[in-house]
Amino acid sequence: MRNSKITYRLVVFIAVFIFGVVFSLPSFLQSERGVKINLGLDLQGGLYMLLGVDNQEAVKSKIKSVASSLSYSFNKENILNDGLNIHDDSLDFTLLDNADIVKTENLLKEINGLNVQREDMHYTISFTSEEVKSIENFALLQAVETIRNRLDQFGLAEPTVAKQGEDKILVELAGIKTKEDELRAKERITKAAHLQLMEVDDSKMSQASNMSDAEAASYGLVLVPDSRNPNLKYPLKSIPILDGSMLTDARVGLSDTSNYPVINFTLNAEGSKKFADYTGANVGKRLAIVLDNKVYSAPSINERIGGGSGQISGAFTQEEARDVAVALRSGALLAPVKLLEQRSIGPSLGADSIKMSMIALIGASIFIVVFMVLYYGMAGIFANIAMLVNVLVVVAVMAMFGATLTLPGMAGLVLTVGMAVDANVIINERIRELLREGANIKASIEQGYKNAMSAIIDSNITSLVTSIALYAYGTGAVKGFAVTLGIGIVVSMITAIWGTHGMFDYFMRRIEKSNNTRFWFGYRRK
């Protein structure tokens, strides 16, 4: 067209528009093909849980780990003692030879955070208050990370896992629709996945069924039930040979003999050495494989086992074996978690939220469209087109990156609609000012964009920094709002500035020829 001019600004805007349409349509139409935006818990329904972390168990588990390390070192250095006695938050032992005091002191110095009390040959070991606090904090953070890793392998879209306070964890799982999925998710979250290799005391095996826990403790033993027969109890040495902290991998396989699913695990270098040393020195004894305080197998040691690998066999289904392997790979929970609160949010509530949000979005858009057209004329129509493209591109970008749209995110989208025309309001007012001063139309448009640029960039950068801070330090709903707002701000810089400027460039000759400032800018020049 003779009176039209296509500039690079308009080309970029059209390309952005096509991108927005192509990648946002699957989300709007909810088609099976193409990438779609994920809906959050409040929009599609799902499961809300508040978990409590048992910090005291974390301290107890750490004491057992210290005891295991000391037991290995004492055997390696031939340090004679009467046995390690483990309590809830401490352990004690008595040396049998004065010559071992120096070696013992050196070993204890290598372990950080210990409070060591010595009376002659008797040692009592506990943690300092600072170390206890550190263990509790680490247990909470480790539980958050472990649960997140487990849920990532469950196939859910962006599960929310965040700490609340000093001993609680918030979990939100969008898309959980059936009771079976709900139960499986809870099992995967709360499973301790605590693997231990422990020595069986066969001399007490026949007495174990009639033995009390207190009597077992007097022998330095713990009674652990069989995974398939709870009435069968194994008397195990209370200090484990190895634990799951030395595990590097766990995969589902099939048993060579029964064709049942089994879990093959691999140990790290330290665990491999301990495993090889122990099996080499204890041929003929039985070694129990204990998972979450249940004995899954207790094979006899026939020879030294190198290579750092082992197998957990039991009456697993394929799904159970897969979940256990995932839990082991993700890491054991240092402290057990318990369910404090649970709410199931139905999809109908989410549908109502979407409906109300869409009403708000459409209502806000209609109000803005009408106002911009009545007040700014064709310049307002250009701003409205840019606003529409902005919404399409925000949805497209969120869909491409697999972001989750939450109810606060919808609020951010509604806010983005207003912010998308905010820049054009500033630009149009600058153009009007120049027209009042008597500048020609082309100069008014070019200078109007130039004069408005600094104010637009400053306000958008401030808003963008705010959204980044909200995303960095916020959780759940706040992050959803921040993501939508941040993407909207960046996109509006392209659509509101380049897009509308490109449209003015395209119609520049017509605008100058008509000289009708009332039609084009909503302002009648006197």
Q: Which tens digit of pLDDT belongs to each residue from 278-293? A: 888 888 899 888 888 8
Length of the chain: 526
For residue 131, the model assigns a pLDDT of 92
CA-wise closest residue to 320 among 291, 341, 293: 291
The amino acid at residue 105 is E
CA distance 348 to 103: 68
Q: What residue has token string 């809300």?
A: 48
Q: Which is higher by pLDDT, 139 or 320?
A: 139
CB atoms within 10 A of CB 69: 15
Q: Using DSSP, how many helices (H) and how many strands (E) does the chain show? A: 16, 19
Q: How many angstroms separate the Cα of 392 from the Cα of each of 27, 380, 416? A: 10, 19, 11
Q: Tokens at residue 142, please?
A: 């480790």
Got the DSSP string for 18-35?
A: HHHHHHHHHHHHT-SSS-
> For 193-231, what is each residue's pLDDT tens digit?
778 889 999 999 989 988 998 899 888 899 999 988 888
CATH code for the part of the protein at 47-52+141-344: 3.30.1360.200
CA distance 252 to 249: 10
For residue 302, the model assigns a pLDDT of 82
In three-state secondary structure terms, 236 is strand
Q: Which helix (H) or strand (E) holds 457?
A: helix 441-473
CA distance 480 to 499: 27
Q: Which is higher by pLDDT, 526 or 379?
A: 379
Contact 251, 263 (CB under 8 A): yes
For residue 177, the model assigns a pLDDT of 72
44: pLDDT strictly greater than 80: no
- At what angle are helices 318-330 and 129-152 packed, to 10 degrees? 140
> For 483-513, what is each residue's pLDDT tens digit?
888 888 888 888 888 899 999 999 998 988 8
The amino acid at residue 86 is I
The amino acid at residue 373 is V
For residue 274, the model assigns a pLDDT of 87
CA distance 237 to 235: 7
Architecture of domain 8-45+346-521: Up-down Bundle (1.20)
Q: Which is higher by pLDDT, 34 or 366?
A: 366
The amino acid at residue 20 is G
The amino acid at residue 260 is Y
Asked if domains 8-45+346-521 and 47-52+141-344 share a fold, the reply is no
CA distance 400 to 403: 8
| b/e sequence 101-117, b meaning 16+ C-beta within 10 Å | eebbeebbeebeeeeee
Contact 236, 221 (CB under 8 A): yes
CA-wise closest residue to 104 among 128, 131, 80: 80
Q: What is the mean pLDDT of the chain?
A: 85
Average pLDDT over residues 347-373: 78
350: pLDDT strictly greater than 70: no
In three-state secondary structure terms, 226 is strand
Half-sphere exposure of 436 (CA within 13 A, CB side): 8
Q: Which residues pair with 344 in a beta bridge?
A: 47
For residue 157, the model assigns a pLDDT of 53
Q: Which class in CATH covers the domain with range 56-131?
A: alpha beta
Contact 300, 284 (CB under 8 A): yes
Contact 412, 484 (CB under 8 A): yes
Contact 396, 19 (CB under 8 A): yes
For residue 357, the model assigns a pLDDT of 74
User: What is the edge-to-edge ordering of all strands in the sheet holding 114-119?
Assistant: 85-86, 90-94, 122-127, 114-119
For residue 380, the model assigns a pLDDT of 93
516: pLDDT strictly greater than 60: yes
Contacts of 414 (CB under 8 A, 6+ apart): 357, 360, 361, 364
Share of the chain above pLDDT 70, in %: 94
CA distance 23 to 1: 30
Using a 10 angstrom Cβ sphere, with 0-12 exposed, 13-18 middle and 19 or more buried, the burial of residue 150 is: buried
* DSSP 8-state assignment for residue 134: H
Q: How many angstroms separate the Cα of 457 from the Cα of each of 18, 359, 462, 489? A: 25, 31, 8, 10
Contact 271, 308 (CB under 8 A): yes
CA distance 406 to 353: 10
Cα-Cα-Cα-Cα dihedral sign, residues 243, 248, 252, 253? negative
For residue 92, the model assigns a pLDDT of 93
CA distance 355 to 340: 32
CA-wise closest residue to 86 among 216, 234, 244: 216
Residue 259, by phi and psi: left (phi above 0), alpha (psi -120 to 50) or beta? left
Q: How many angstroms separate the Cα of 221 from the Cα of each of 125, 207, 211, 234? A: 20, 12, 11, 9
CA distance 481 to 496: 21
In three-state secondary structure terms, 406 is coil
Q: Would you list the domain boundaries of the chain?
A: 8-45+346-521, 47-52+141-344, 56-131
CA distance 1 to 295: 83
* Backbone angles phi and psi of 2, in degrees to 5: -65, -40
